[in-house]
Amino acid sequence: MNQQAFRSKNNTLKCIQPRVFKNPEHQIQLEKKGYIIAQGLSAENIASIEKLILQIKVKDNGYTSPSTIDFSADVSKQINDLLIPIANEICNELMIDYTAVLGLLMTKGVGNNSEMYVHQDWTLVDENIFSSFNIWIPLVDVCKDNGAMFILEGSHKLSFTFRGSYIPNCFPAIDAPFNKLTCLAMKKGELLIYDHRCIHGSPVNKTQNIRPSAVIAIAPINSIKYHYFYKDDNKSIVEMVADSNLLTQITSQSELIDCMNFNNTMRVIQEMPTISEAEILNLIENSPKKQSVLSRILAFLK
Ligand SMILES: O=C(O)CCC(=O)C(=O)O
């Protein structure tokens, strides 16, 4: 992937983020909102994921939880092995030089504890140069009542942060977040491809049926993949080079301590960059969602 650079007026060297999507309309939407929704999986790929879901007996545990926590390492590998080639097909079709890194199932159970709180995903690449994404694929039609994804549009452009194991949320809590984020109603098998920096979450599932989805992390082919741990004792962040194996282990929390002994630490970061409340409030205030509610009210009053 060619990283281009230019000199700005004050003579500092700036990187131009490489183009991500083949389709220019996808690229424009990505730059503006931080995500795209694209045509869905083939019926054959949906069927193969559904077959595995039945075989491993995915069930309702009342939470939104990843298969890396709900299942053994062997089953997690089986899921990863099925999803990686499917995601690579999507990368080849829609994206420029992206590859799948880690695949898992995310199952939303039923009831009051089934919310996925709003968060940004773990940092996977050097975000000064690259962008990494999740491909999130609902395996039933989703709307606000059964736990569709909600996204704060444009939040991929917020200040630089490090995100990872035990690192506290890098942005201040948002009051009543699901009223402020955009609800992404989607059809079964459609593809939501969102930047890992986007603030997102999914509300409680008010229906009686679980809401399964597949999630695959993807990154530029030539990027180094990292994982970041927060060490509370000396208030620092440890940067490690991460492959899919390490990431699978980390996402099944029980292995976390072992992972911390891996000797692939690259550096220890003392400062912890965060996003200010003013930045978030400004984004919410100017979000397309707020604007469209306002324009509807104004149109109604006319
Ligand atoms: O599946 C969901 O409801 C949320 C998934 C999510 O937030 C994530 O994968 O980061």
What is the reported pLDDT for 221? 97
* pLDDT for the residue numbered 2: 40
d(CA 130, CA 147): 30
* Residue-level pLDDT at 150: 98
**Residues 32-37, mean pLDDT to the nearest whole number:** 97
Beta bridge pairs of residue 230 = 237
Residue 108 has pLDDT above 70, yes or no: yes
Ligand 1 pocket member 108 (CB < 6 A):
yes
pLDDT value at residue 1? 39
Cα distance between residue 113 and residue 131, in whole Å: 31
State the chain's mean pLDDT as an integer. Answer: 90
Residue whose CA lies nearest to ligand 1 atom number 2: 202
**Ligand 1 centroid vs 12 CA: distance in angstroms?**
38
Q: Provide the residue type at 86 as one letter.
A: I
Poorest-confidence range of 133-137, 242-246, 255-259, 289-293?
A: 255-259
Percent residues over pLDDT 70 in the chain:
86
Please check the confidence at residue 294 and state whether its pLDDT lies above 60.
yes
Q: Which residue has the higher pLDDT, 299 or 30?
A: 30
Segment 23-37 mean pLDDT: 97
> Is the beta carbon of 94 within 6 A of some atom in ligand 1?
no
Residues in a beta bridge with 100 = 218
Q: Which domains does the chain have, with CATH numbers?
A: 20-301 (2.60.120.620)
Q: Is the pLDDT of residue 183 over 70?
A: yes
Ligand 1 centre to CA of 51 (Å) is 21
116 close to ligand 1 (CB < 6 Angstrom): yes
Q: How far is the CA of 10 from the centre of ligand 1 (A)?
A: 41
Which ligand 1 atom sits closest to the C-alpha of 136? 9
CA 102/CA 243 separation, integer angstroms: 9
For 122, the token pair is 């773990």
Closest ligand 1 atom to Cα of 66: 9
Residue located nearest, by CA, to atom 10 of ligand 1: 121
Does residue 258 have a pLDDT over 80? no
Residue with CA closest to ligand 1 atom 7? 201
User: How many angstroms is it from 201 CA to the middle of ligand 1?
Assistant: 6
Q: Would you say residue 4 has pLDDT above 60? A: no
Higher pLDDT, 66 or 263: 66
According to DSSP, the residues that pair with 106 across neighbouring strands are 66, 213
Instruction: Take atom 1 of ligand 1 and give the residue whose Cα is closest.
Output: 106
User: Using N-to-C axis directions, what is the helix angle for 244-251 and 73-94, rounded to 10°?
Assistant: 120
Distance 109 CA to ligand 1 centre (A): 12
pLDDT of residue 232: 83
Q: Which pLDDT does position 265 carry in this prediction? A: 75
Our answer on whether the CB atom of 147 is closer than 6 Å to any ligand 1 atom is yes
Out of 14-28, 69-83, 167-181, which region has the weakest mean confidence (pLDDT)?
14-28
**Single-letter residue type at 203:** P
Mean pLDDT, residues 240-246 taken together: 85
Confidence of residue 10 (pLDDT cuts 50, 70, 90): low
Q: Is 106 in the pocket of ligand 1 (CB under 6 A)?
A: yes
Question: Percent of the chain scored above 90 by pLDDT?
Answer: 73
Residue 41 has pLDDT above 80, yes or no: yes
The closest-lying atom of ligand 1 relative to the alpha carbon of residue 107 is: 1
The average pLDDT across 240-266 equals: 73
**pLDDT at 3 exceeding the cut of 50:** no
Question: What size, in residues, is the chain?
Answer: 302
264 vs 204: which has the higher pLDDT: 204
pLDDT of 300 above 80: no
* CA separation for the pair 295, 283 (Å, rounded): 17
Return the ligand 1 atom nearest residue 147 CA. Answer: 3
Provide mean pLDDT across the span 108-114: 98
Which residue has the CA at smallest separation from atom 3 of ligand 1?
Answer: 202
Rounded Cα gap, residues 216 and 171, in angstroms: 24
